[in-house]
Amino acid sequence: MAATRPDPTHTIDGSIVRLRPLTREDLPDLFDAIGHPEVFAGGWGGGPAAYRDTYEEWHEFISNYLQWGAGNVTVVCLRQDGDRVVGTTTLGDFDLVNESAHIGWTAYAPEVWGTLVNAETKRLLLGAAFDNGFERVKLQADVLNTRSRAAIARLGAKPEGILRHMQRRADGTWRDTAVFSILREEWPEVRAGLDARLAGAGAGTGTATGTGTDR
């Protein structure tokens, strides 16, 4: 089947999280969740120098950083806590001709690091991508972000290599980017592994290794 962009207005429910379109009205709650130095410390948003400690400055940053309109920008809500906002992620960089997409721009509240929030979020987004005909889904992280790289590998993504000096960090230094991907033929095995992890945690958020950021 030809690749098509998933409906950007669609809400996806899992056992732990609800993924729904991020709106401007969500930004105060998202700031409460991810507006912390440790979220930026791993490289998200351009690294520690991109951190903004006031909502007004952070609002300007996030308005320019996320793929508003170009990607399916999603807010991650914790269903067992009244749909409280705990992060954001995006399915974007759609290349419909070559059936490729990218899951990134991901950040979570530190309180859900080390839980299965990331695993279920990626399970739901990967499912949406492959159900819509994509052949390859890319995931990536700053080469210095060992936590995110380990979490991406734990999903079952295969390493493709390091893109050197791909972009500048907020402090002006060059960022090398570790690139991973999952292919359609690999998805059944990856999906089974994620489903087993989620089933093993029951209905709770779990304690398996997660990640704070990726992109």
For the stretch 57-85, pLDDT in tens is 999 999 999 999 999 999 999 999 999 99
pLDDT of residue 131: 98
Residue 181 domain flag:
yes
| Per-residue model confidence (pLDDT) at position 98 | 98
Please report whether residue 176 resides in a domain. yes
Give the closest residue to 143 by CA, choosing from 174, 119, 114, 117.
174
Instruction: Write the CATH number for 184.
Output: 3.40.630.30
Q: Specify if 174 maps to a domain.
A: yes
Domain span at residue 58?
A: 12-202
The number of distinct structural domains making up the chain is 1
- The DSSP secondary structure of 73-100, one letter per residue, reads EEEEEEGGGTTEEEEEEEEEEEETTTTE
| Average pLDDT value for residue range 123-135 | 98
pLDDT at 169 over 80: yes
Between CA 215 and CA 205 the distance in angstroms is 23
Report the pLDDT value the prediction gives residue 141, as an integer from 0 to 100: 95
Identity of the amino acid at 111: E
Are 190 and 155 in contact, with CB atoms under 8 Å apart? yes
Tell me what pLDDT residue 210 has.
46
Closest-CA residue to 212 (of 121, 91, 129) = 121
Query: What is residue 137's predicted lDDT score, i.e. its pLDDT?
Result: 98
Amino acid at residue number 48: P
Residue 210 lies in a domain: no
In 3D, which of 112, 142, 136, 111 has the Cα closest to residue 45? 142
Among 211, 28, 1, which Cα is nearest to 103's?
211
